[in-house]
Structure 1
Amino acid sequence: MDFPIFHIDFIGNRMLIAVDAILHVIINHALAVGALPIIALLEYIGIRNKDKRWDALAFRLLKIIFIVTTTVGALTGVGIWFSASLINPAAIGSLIRVFFWGWFVEWLVFVSEVSLIMAYFLTWESTRDKPEAKLKHWRLGLFLAAFSWITMAIIVAILGFMMDTGNWQTERTLLAGLFNPMYFPQLGFRTTLAMVMGGMSMICLTYLYTRRELAFRSAVLEVLSKWTGAWLLALAIAAIWYYQVIPGHMLANIPVAVTTQEYVSWNSQLKWLLIFGLAFVGWVAWASFKRPGQVHGAKYALSLVVLVLMLGQFERVREFIRKPFIIGNYMYANGLRVDDYPLLKRDGILQHATYAGIREITADNQVSAGREVFEQTCSRCHTVNGINSIRGQLKNMYGDKRWQADIIAAYVENMHGARYFMPPFPGNKTELQALSVYLASLQKRAAAFNGAQINGIPAPDFISAATHYGNIPDLDTHQGEQH
């Protein structure tokens, strides 16, 4: 509420972050975290066996990793910061205040990681024929793999905190935030998944690069299949561990998270599809280990596609199940703190939204005021006409009948009870009615909903009382509740 609202109506803010973040995670897990240890392993085997073919293959694989991670991987990493800061600055600001020193360390580790991968890649050929230098170069690869994992380990602490803040709500310390209940289970899950994805991605590239050396291909695939199969078993254990620590209210959101509300009845079938997919990857790894070089490349490629789709779906589910919160039990998905709700329900959100164009709601400006309320409370997840559109939701609920503001108001007021993943409405009764009038008007108005980047930023007529960063004033109580 202290920032103008950025909004892209055709794709939606949520999808904008999702596309960028999922692409970044796929690259990070499969290539940065999962594949770099394999490169070091292949280089070591080449040193031990004095076989330059292993060294040459490792360098070719590293070249792909280097190019992808330092271009698309780096850009999407910056894109996460950029899009998150635009779409939910209150949430990213809160996380920075909690994890400032953690992110500072992560930045140092990341800069070191970039420096290491450049040194590792660019000095490879110059050390190839020098045994002592080659051994030092291999150790450089080990450091690179370790730093890549440490980067992920720090970020996973923040992701876990967003799901379950643990003791931080009372202790308010960095360590309490870092070592939240979700941290180690999620770190175990992501580490093992990254190693499996790294193994399968390197198997696919090895199959492609060794078309003319079938005996050598078999030797490499045997090593990589052992790696992938062993980590796949660890992944199954880590997944069970991770599932067991997910809070109950988040588990209840999984059916909708996996299939959306429209296809929630397909949830059990998709669970079996997930199990079948993992079993297929395991079977391919086992077949490749028992008969290296005899498994068709299409099966390797399909296994990698299955893993990529599973990771993408996992990220989507993880983001959804923490609803109605963006930071567990601390901040709702609309960017408003749980502790601020009593103040906002008493005064109304427009009184505390710095860049709101309307402060007072009258009979003449209900639609415009309702649009302001929608912008402040709904637009971070919903569009008007695009993905997850509010018009589509209302049409599914009320069809072609006339949309009545009073009925919509009654639903919005109680929607958190009916659909837990929806945050409670934060405003007062007048704003609820204005929002409902605006939503009802959308039945006949199909104009796109533009954000501040299109409409411009209204000059605030006064600086609103701090809601995100200040202390909440003492509130009067009425009938046992705060208003």
Structure 2
Amino acid sequence: MDLPIYHLDLLNNRMLIAIIAILHVVINHGMAVGGIPLVSYLEHKGQKTGDPSWDRLAQRILMVFFIVTTTVGALTGVGIWFSTSLVNPYAIGSLIRVFFWGWFTEWIVFVTEVALILAYYLTWKTWVGPRKRAHLRLGVGLSLASWGTMAIIVSILGFMMDPGAWLTDKTFLSGVLNPIYLPQLAFRTPLAMIMAGAFSLPIVHLSTERGSTERARVVRAVSKWMLLWTPACVIGGSWYASVVPEAMQGNLPVALLTQALSQWSTVALWVLAVACVLIAAIAAWGFTRPQSLRPWALILPALLSVALIASFERVREFVRKPYAIANYMYANGIRKDDYPLLQRDGLLTHATYTSVREITDDNEVEAGREVFKIACTRCHTADGVNGMRTLLVDMYGDEQPWDAGAIDAYVGSMHAARPFMPPFPGSPKEQAALAAYLVTLQQHRDVIEGAQSAGVTAAPGRKRLGLDSAQVQDAG
């Protein structure tokens, strides 16, 4: 509550992060972590057989991966930092404090990866003959660097789901070696390799003639690559699923779809399972009868891979709720240990940027709006994606006036009713004010502007600060 609130009332803050993060993971896993080892494997086959067609296709696949990873992949990587820092600076700040040296190491590995992929791509046509072995070693080094960046970041993702012993001893090593880390790494590594094969097949389709011997050989090699990694992916996925905390597993039905569609979660699981089987079946088809593989079969695994990884990331992010960092910080950016203080004194008492300090009969709705901005806008909007108006219409209908008392009671018990919702962090008076504000949404479609567009309103007694102002004014 010490920082201004960034908010997108139409798109929703979580949606912003989801779009950027999923796009980045798709590119990182399929084209870097898994893609570079696959290209190195194909290059090795060309060097071993002396057939230049292997080398040509490997270079074509690398060109696509190189362009995408160094443009969209790099931009979305930076975009994750920007979006998470804007939406939940307290969570990202806590993670930086715990994993400072981990992120420092990851940055060094990432810079090394960038240098190596530039060298690997730009020397492809010049390091030939006696220098080909050196180029292959360069590919191996790049593969390790690409995997290394993921290996470090996965420890942080695991920490957010289960900090493990860190909650008691607060050591860096305990944070890194959290209970989720190795199982998740064991799953993501083969998953990335399979995705690389799936993304390579459409490139092979566009780069070779249908029915040609060249296409058949490369399709068989890529399909074999995918099949070899499949058992490891199944084992790693099973291990990963077994260590997810039980409370988080209870969120799975909603995480797979939505609260309204949670009764269809079993169907959704079957659809995802069928998608996995289809990818494996097409890989088996490509390995056994590559010349008969239809064009749609060369493209479908890539599309299914994107859908599966997007679903996986959605589930992984949602099941962690009500926490941003399990048992440490709630999704609203408030630490679990700070709840008793805030529920006693109130959120507005300790908020730096608010237009209301004391709640009165005259400012109750305005105070409720301020409470909503502080406690709810990390996940909700007023009338956009995951908007409160739509949710309240679903709960209470729109024919009769909403009852502020009923909404107040629900807010007080929402964590018990829906465990993925954090408990309300404010005082009883603020809870009543929030209910009073939410009632107004039935007749008034409010649009909450974030600090990025509305400017910053400091606590009473200070002047309003405009973000476009050249001079910061402080009248306090």
Scaled by the length of structure 1, what TM-score is found? 0.94
Separation in 2, partners of 1:219, 1:197? 19
Q: How high is the sequence identity, in percent, across the aligned residues? A: 53
1:249-283 deviations in Å (ceiling 9; x for gaps):
00000001101011111111111111111111111
Q: 1:150 aligns with which of 145, 148, 151?
A: 148
Separation in 2, partners of 1:26, 1:121? 21
Q: Report the residue type matching 2:440 in the other structure.
A: S
Does the residue aligned with 2:5 lie in a helix, a strand or coil? Answer: coil
- Which residue does 2:114 correspond to in 1? 114
1:143-166 deviations in Å (ceiling 9; x for gaps):
001100000000000000000010
Q: Report the residue type matching 1:276 in the other structure.
A: V
- Which residue does 2:104 correspond to in 1? 104
Which region of structure 1 is more displaced relative to structure 2, 202-211 or 14-23?
202-211
Separation in 1, partners of 2:291, 2:104? 46
Give the conservation status (yes or no) of the 8 Å contact 1:46–1:55: yes
Deviation of 1:77 (Å): 0.5
For structure 2, the 5+ residue unaligned runs are: 463-476
- Which residue does 1:407 correspond to in 2? 406
Q: Report the residue type matching 2:287 in the other structure.
A: F
Q: 1:164 aligns with which of 151, 155, 162?
A: 162
- Which residue does 1:126 correspond to in 2? 126
- Which residue does 1:335 correspond to in 2? 333
Give the conservation status (yes or no) of the 8 Å contact 1:354–1:462: no
Does the residue aligned with 1:445 lie in a helix, a strand or coil? Answer: coil
- Which residue does 1:257 correspond to in 2? 255
1:246 and 2:250 are equivalent in the alignment: no
Runs of 4+ in 1 over 6 A off after TM superposition: none
Separation in 2, partners of 1:67, 1:86? 28
- Which residue does 2:472 correspond to in 1? none
Separation in 2, partners of 1:119, 1:286? 34
Separation in 1, partners of 2:445, 2:452? 20
Does the residue aligned with 1:326 lie in a helix, a strand or coil? Answer: strand
**What does residue range 76-95 of structure 1 map to in structure 2 within 5 Å?**
76-95=76-95
Q: Report the residue type matching 1:24 in the other structure.
A: H
Q: 2:283 aligns with which of 260, 282, 285?
A: 285
Separation in 2, partners of 1:185, 1:293? 37
- Which residue does 1:469 correspond to in 2? none
Deviation of 1:377 (Å): 0.1
Separation in 2, partners of 1:281, 1:137? 32
Does the residue aligned with 1:363 lie in a helix, a strand or coil? Answer: coil
**What does residue range 279-318 of structure 1 map to in structure 2 within 5 Å?**
279-318=277-316
Deviation of 1:204 (Å): 2.2
Which region of structure 1 is more displaced relative to structure 2, 44-53 or 72-81?
44-53
- Which residue does 1:58 correspond to in 2? 58
Separation in 2, partners of 1:74, 1:409? 45
- Which residue does 1:473 correspond to in 2? none
Deviation of 1:212 (Å): 6.4
Give the conservation status (yes or no) of the 8 Å contact 1:323–1:333: yes
- Which residue does 1:428 correspond to in 2? 427
Separation in 1, partners of 2:441, 2:455? 22
- Which residue does 1:370 correspond to in 2? 368
Q: Report the residue type matching 1:208 in the other structure.
A: L
For structure 1, the 5+ residue unaligned runs are: 464-483
Does the residue aligned with 2:198 lie in a helix, a strand or coil? Answer: helix
Give the conservation status (yes or no) of the 8 Å contact 1:112–1:147: yes
Deviation of 1:317 (Å): 0.6
Separation in 1, partners of 2:381, 2:229? 41
Q: Report the residue type matching 1:69 in the other structure.
A: T
Separation in 1, partners of 2:224, 2:279? 13
Does the residue aligned with 2:274 lie in a helix, a strand or coil? Answer: helix
1:136 and 2:134 are equivalent in the alignment: yes
Which region of structure 1 is more displaced relative to structure 2, 219-228 or 108-117?
219-228
Deviation of 1:293 (Å): 2.2
Q: Report the residue type matching 2:183 in the other structure.
A: P
- Which residue does 2:178 correspond to in 1? 180
Separation in 2, partners of 1:200, 1:396? 41
Which region of structure 1 is more displaced relative to structure 2, 272-281 or 249-258?
272-281
Q: Report the residue type matching 1:63 in the other structure.
A: M
Separation in 2, partners of 1:462, 1:255? 47
The root-mean-square deviation of aligned C-alpha atoms, in Å, is 1.2
Scaled by the length of structure 2, what TM-score is found? 0.95
Q: Report the residue type matching 1:357 in the other structure.
A: S
Separation in 1, partners of 2:239, 2:335? 30
- Which residue does 2:466 correspond to in 1? none
Separation in 2, partners of 1:184, 1:350? 42
Deviation of 1:203 (Å): 2.1
**Paired residue total:** 461
Separation in 1, partners of 2:435, 2:61? 57
- Which residue does 1:349 correspond to in 2? 347
